[in-house]
Chains A and B, each alone.
Chain A
Amino acid sequence: MSLGPAEVAKIAYLARLAIRDEDVPAYARNLSAILELVAQMNAADTTGVTPMAHPLDMAQRLRPDTVSEPDQRAAFQAIAPRVEAGLYLVPKVIE
C-alpha cells in the first residue's frame, strides 16, 4: 500500500497534526515504506487465530466506583497553558 500527498494530508487532519506542505512528500515516502514493511504480515495465514490484545491474556481489572483521588485542580492547572477562574481557556468555539 502506498500513500500519496493527498492521503497523507487527510490522515494528518484525522490525527489533528499540522504538517508543513514541504514536508508532505517525505512523509508520503516514509509512510509508504512503513506500510510496505507492514504488508509482510499478509504472508501469514491467520485464519481462525484469536487476536491477542494483552500479553498475559488477562481481563482488565475493575475497581469499585468510589471517589479515590483527592482534588488537585490547582496543581494540575498550574501547568496548563491558559487558565482563568479554574477553567481551561481555548479559542471561542461557539459564536
Chain B
Amino acid sequence: MSLVPLSLTAEKNPWSTSLDSIAMHEKTIAQLSAGLAAGEFSSEELTDAFLERVRRYNPQLNAFITLTAETALAQARAADERRQRGEAGPLTGIPIAHKDIFCTEGVRTSCGSRMLDRFISPYNATVVDKLNAAGAVMLGKTNMDEFAMGSSSETSFYGPVCNPWDLDTVPGGSSGGSAAAVAARLAPGATGTDTGGSIRQPAAMCGITGLKPTYGRVSRWGMIAYASSLDQGGPMARTAEDCALLLGAMAGFDPRDSTSVDRPVPDYTAQLDRPLNGLKIGLPKEYFGEGLDGAVAQTVETAMAEYRKLGAETVEISLPNSQLAIPAYYVIAPAECSSNLARFDGVRYGHRCENPKDLLDLYTRSRGEGFGPEVTRRILVGTFALSAGYYDAYYLKAQQIRRLISDDFQRAFEQVDVIAGPTSPTVAFRLGEKVDDPITMYLSDIYTIAVNLAGLPGLSLPVGFVSELPVGLQFIANYFAEDRLLNVAHRYQQVTDWHLRTPLAFA
C-alpha cells in the first residue's frame, strides 16, 4: 500500500479512501492506529466515518442510547493536534464507545434506567478519564440491561438491543450495546462491565473478543455499582490485540477505589506472540455436560483441535462446585445490589415521583417508578436475603460457597495454565424468548458466573458459528494473568478468521 502523507491542516485528502483496500470501519484498532500514525487519514475523518455509521445503522440495532457527535469531533481534532505535536500514543484519535454505566461528565449517564434518564453526570469515571488521557475519542454511550442486570440487553428503559447477526435475536447482556456496536462496526472498540458474564457472554453472542480483568485491575470509580465485590470493567473489541491496547489504558491503581489493586500495569501487547507450545489447557468436565447445546460443544471441540495444532495440550479437569455458582451468585449479587441501589431515593439525583405526600411516599414511588421489573426482583431478593433471621442461611452460606468455588479454581491452576470451555451454553436466543422467565435467563451465564465469584480474569473470543450465529470460547486464567489470556486468544486469531467476519447487513 502506498502512503500519501496527509497534512492535518490541508483539505480532506481525496485519495484517502481509494488508496485504502480495507474500508476504515473494517479495520482493527491496531490497524487504525497504524493508519493514523502513517497519516492515511485523520482522527477527524475516522470519527466522522464512524459517527455516520452510527447514524445510519443504529435505528436497526438500538446499540447506542446517546451519541456525542460534537464532543467526539472536538476530541478528534484535539487528537490530531496532539499527533502533530508528536505526542500520540496507540489510542490517540481512536473512536470508542462507552457502556452507559460509566459516568461521563456533562453527558447523560442512564445505566439503562428510567431512574437515571435525566442524570447528567458531574464527573468522569476513572476509566473514562484514563481513555481520554490516552487520546481516545468517545462516540457515545451504549445501551445495556438496566443497572447491568440481565443477560440479553432487553431490560433497558430504552428498549432492547438487536444482534447484528440476526436482528430478531438478542446480543447478550448486559453489555449488549457495546457488543452489538463493535460487531456491526459502529465502533472499533468499546468498554463493558462484567458482574456475572456481562462482557464475555455478549462478546460471544456477537462474535467479538471481550475481556473481564482480575477483580481490582480496573478502577470501579464512576462505574455505577451493581454488586461491588463482583463488578469489573473491561475492553470489548474485535481482536485480542485490540483488547490488549484498550486494557493497557484502562487498568491501573486508583486511590479513589478502595478495592483497586496497587500493582504495575504490564504492556499487554508484549506477550501476544508468545508461542503456545506446552500450554496446558484444562477442560472442566462440568462445562461440557447437560444444558450445553451439542453444536456449540462441537464448535468448541474444533477450536480445541486448533489449539492442539498450535502446540497446546488439553486435559480434562474438574471444578466440582460449578453447579453451585448460579445459586450463590443469586444471593450475593442481589444482596449487594439491594444495598448499592438504596442510594436512589429521589432526593439528591435521579427520578422523583410527582407530588409525594410524605417522605415514605417519595422514596417508595420514586423507586417503584424508576426501576424496571428485573431490577425490582433483584432488590427484593437481596432485601429478603439480608433481612433479620436470614443472613446466615443466605448471604453467609453463599460466601462460603464462593470460597469453595475459588478453591476449585486454585486446585485446577496447579495442573493447568488456563481453563477453557464454552462462554455460554447456546448461541444468541430470540428477542422476548426468555424475558419473562428469569431462571431460564440466568442459566445463560452458567459458565461465566464462577469466574466473577473467584475474581479471576476471563476472556471470550469467537470460534465459529452455529445456525449462522457466533459461538464464543471462554478462557480463564489465574489472577493478573490477563497477558496470558490475550496471548492465547491472539495466537488463535493469527491462524483463524472468525474475528474478522462481519454481519452481512453491516459490511
Contacts and interface: CB of A to CB of B under 8 A. Distances in A.
B17 interface: no
Interface stretch (B147-155, B203-211, B396-404, B418-426): B396-404
Q: Which of A15, A33, A72: most chain B CB closer than 10 A?
A: A15
Given A16-B363, A17-B379, A56-B479, A49 B347 contact: no
Interface in B344-392: 345-352, 356-365, 367-369, 371, 373, 376-377, 379-381, 383-385, 387
B215 A55 contact: yes
B401 A44 contact: yes
A41 B364 contact: no
Main secondary structure of the interface of B (DSSP, over half): helix
Contacts of B324: 40-41, 43-44
B406 interface: yes
B400 A51 contact: yes
A39 interface: yes
A18 interface: yes
A55 B406 contact: yes
A55 B455 contact: yes
B331 A31 contact: no
Contacts of A67: none
A52 B406 contact: yes
B406 A17 contact: no
B216 interface: yes
Nearest to A26: B373
Given A41-B328, A58-B259, A81-B347, A31 B404 contact: no
A85 interface: no
B367 A16 contact: yes
A34 B376 contact: no
Interface of A: 3, 8, 11-20, 23, 27, 30-31, 33-35, 37-44, 46, 49-56, 58, 60-61, 63, 72, 75-76, 78-82, 88, 90-93
B387 A14 contact: yes
Contacts of A34: 330, 377, 381, 438-439
B384 A11 contact: yes
Contact of B383 (A14, A76, A81): A14
Given A18-B364, A80-B347, A81-B352, A27 B330 contact: no
Given A53-B399, A56-B455, A79-B120, A11 B383 contact: yes
5 contacts: A16-B360, A17-B376, A38-B381, A51-B400, A79-B119
A62 B192 CA distance: 28
Contacts of A15: 338, 367, 379-380, 383
B492 interface: no
B453 interface: yes
A17 B383 CA distance: 11
Given A17-B376, A18-B368, A80 B349 contact: yes
